[in-house]
Chain A
């Protein structure tokens, strides 16, 4: 530790020396992180206070598909007059980015992505509990009781298969997790990497629940591994790979498959594992030390409204189901009542995340193929 510090110190002193006589170089402009004052301690939820003055800007960490993010941001900007920016990052990437910026958060609100990601972020003190006044509209099983996260959409994991490719391979549309280990599907399956994607992590943790433990889940992943063409970084990308015929089967949230069918990939078909599948509750949460807390709260409140939850299916081809019971369900959306779901535990899933993804890397991905 100390030699390293000394080395860096030496460099810095040299740098200072040069900066002092540099003159012509860039002069450091004063810019303290604006308004990042929140202490990381637990703050009491502030229900139904008169809305505080909104900040001029809002930066959203957005995890669903890019075009949904765009429409949401544009609409919020229009309705609230707040200059709104966003970055789309997959769930794991979003978590990573929040960790990176913990000292001076660049985002104020995190919208979308499986709730386990929010649980993992909260465990590191990256989120600020906020019980929105609109939260009472959301059923209890779709939100965190203490307001760490609140559900904004629901989606079930499924198989998204290219029927043409399957037909050529002589394989039926998969209806069980075990169908994924079929040797005929060699290099014909795509799924995202659980380290970067919430979708893939949901799929991995579903195996933990289904098979009763991490060891069994890893073993199952090892059995599927020879059939995997590529672990993508984004959770929804495998559906498009299947759509283009790069693979026969992809494991994605079913709404991402529907979205691609609507976009013109007509060979795609959604199916579900009959022994039970995992699901996500897409969450929204306030970020600890948010630079724009009031605008962020306004975003949370707004995102829970029925009308807002209809934006995705109607304007951005995003067919997740709403959490607000008053929101209309789009006809293309998958009816969850017809799907067997496992007893997914978001809290446990979030807590197991780091260890399980590391095991996945070491014991599944790193293993030489063939």
Chain B
């Protein structure tokens, strides 16, 4: 913490008293805790509870040592492959971005390409991969004459690495900018070759960052539901098996058991990642780099890395271009006549309801998540109460726990009214006859999945603000609520904006939990994309993707315009949220 020692010594008693009696703070705390307990812990506990009954034992046996054990093995293979490739690509992008001297425009292009997967639905790339690289793919078959089978492990690794590498890219590029170039210079001055310096100085400093990126991507790959369903072939993994168990068979017990098998490694790996991520953030002793990052002057290596990065960027561009183009064709790949019928279906026909429902619910969830994120950040960083770390931990479960687990947890926890001593405390939120057609549960999941991003960016911003500023405000007679509103909030506005943007983007692109929660009266775009994909109607699916991407980009522009017009969003502040954002699956 940055709190200075004299302040600590002078006022702990007064502060504790203030925290206890200030009504605004108490209400904020109660709401935050209620949120964590009801929206996060209760569903997880319901799922874990279901999977720990006696009936579940044979089901565990079936999936661990029994006939279905291959699923677990496949899941690990997929996770490790995606994490490895994704981290390498992320590292490549970060290195070229930070260390290689290139025209600004080119760097900008690569940066945008690296961020594109964040604003798009999670399996958009899978669709264009089938169109481009599938059996009858435009590139693999029409151009190269190959019989390449994209279904299965290779296709999933390609698509998921491209979808998730931004996570590694964002955290690694932040890390590289913070690296003290003096260390590299010292090594070179002492006679180390460039390669030697990279291997013995730069790489060890980046290792925690690489490890954290690898682990985060591993969790992502484990949790992803859309890509394995679309591209899995016969390579079954836990998430796609869970989908079949719940959607195909309504086997809640099987779903819960699979959920636990997915939850345990995800949690372990996620918190190991947090450990590394925190170590990665203190690479230099002084905290501030002593100069601009050293540029890579070795031309052949620089050219090679640049070409590789440009190649990947162009691949991303090509795949998104295919999405846009495919959305305007009659039967993409077979009959490429241009048409607007897919957009008519989505915008003026049946799809309109899904578009408006999704935007409405995401728009409701966004400010809730934004405010909640900043409030919890304030409580965690500035609060003086027992259990604030538990509050932090509980909130972060929103991203550490795979979305499918939340989906099943919500079904188990809220399919009947939650009662205590016969008094209904929470009405039925999921399934048939749910309150407001299940919309509340969907908004809750949106918020749960978005708050951690807001919390991290808010916490990062708060740590950079000296608490004496707030104390001054309180000394002058303002209460906590006024201080928060008039002093803290303006100071952390960039972080708040980042939180809002990412909440909206995440909500619009969420699928893994949502798939289990939509009802006849509430349609969600990502779910519709999955339906259209499952029925192999690519035109409609791609049109949904395009519209979704456009809406997210427009909303980001709008948020900048409303809140960010006078404040430049601080890149450093934005990064923690960006890093957590990509876990949108």
Contact = CB atoms under 8 A, between A and B. Distances in A.
Interface string A89-121: 010110111011101111100000000000000
Contacts of B188: none
Nearest to B50: A4
Given A100-B411, A101-B431, A105-B432, A193 B248 contact: yes
Nearest to A105: B432
B198 to A, nearest CB: 41
7 contacts: A4-B53, A30-B427, A85-B521, A106-B520, A239-B536, A246-B136, A366-B67
B520 A87 contact: yes
Given A22-B30, A93-B248, A100 B431 contact: yes
B222 interface: no
Contact of B244 (A15, A70, A233): A233
A357 B250 CA distance: 13
Given A11-B42, A229-B151, A362-B62, A85 B536 contact: no
A192 to B, nearest CB: 9
A277 interface: no
Interface of A: 1, 3-5, 7-8, 11-16, 18-19, 21-26, 28-31, 33-34, 36, 59, 65-66, 70, 85-88, 90, 92-93, 95-97, 99-101, 103-107, 165, 187, 193, 195-196, 225, 228-234, 236-237, 239-241, 243-247, 263-265, 291, 357, 361-363, 365-369
A247 B135 contact: yes
Interface string B323-354: 00000001101110000000000000110000
Main secondary structure of the interface of B (DSSP, over half): mixed
Contacts, number: 214
B435 interface: yes
Given A31-B435, A233-B248, A369 B34 contact: no
Given A33-B433, A104-B433, A362-B68, A19 B250 contact: no
Interface residues of B, number: 75
B431 A106 contact: yes
A66 B418 CA distance: 35
A145 to B, nearest CB: 28
Given A12-B418, A28-B426, A230-B233, A19 B248 contact: no
Contacts of B149: 187, 229
Given A4-B52, A366-B67, A101 B418 contact: no
Contact of A366 (B54, B68, B418): B68
B534 A16 contact: no
Contacts of A4: 49-50, 52-53
A15 B426 contact: yes
A191 to B, nearest CB: 12
A298 to B, nearest CB: 18
Contacts of A230: 151, 232-234
B195 to A, nearest CB: 41
Contacts of A12: 42, 418-420, 425
Contacts of A363: 67
Contacts of B557: none
Given A19-B425, A87-B520, A237-B536, A229 B233 contact: yes
Contacts of A361: 67-68
B186 interface: no
B391 interface: no
Contact of B45 (A8, A21, A26, A88): A8
Contacts of B76: none
A239 B536 CA distance: 9
Contacts of A65: 535
A303 to B, nearest CB: 18
Interface string B85-116: 00000000000000000000000000000000
B33 interface: yes
B234 A233 contact: no
A369 B234 CA distance: 8
B261 to A, nearest CB: 15
A206 B333 CA distance: 34
B350 to A, nearest CB: 6
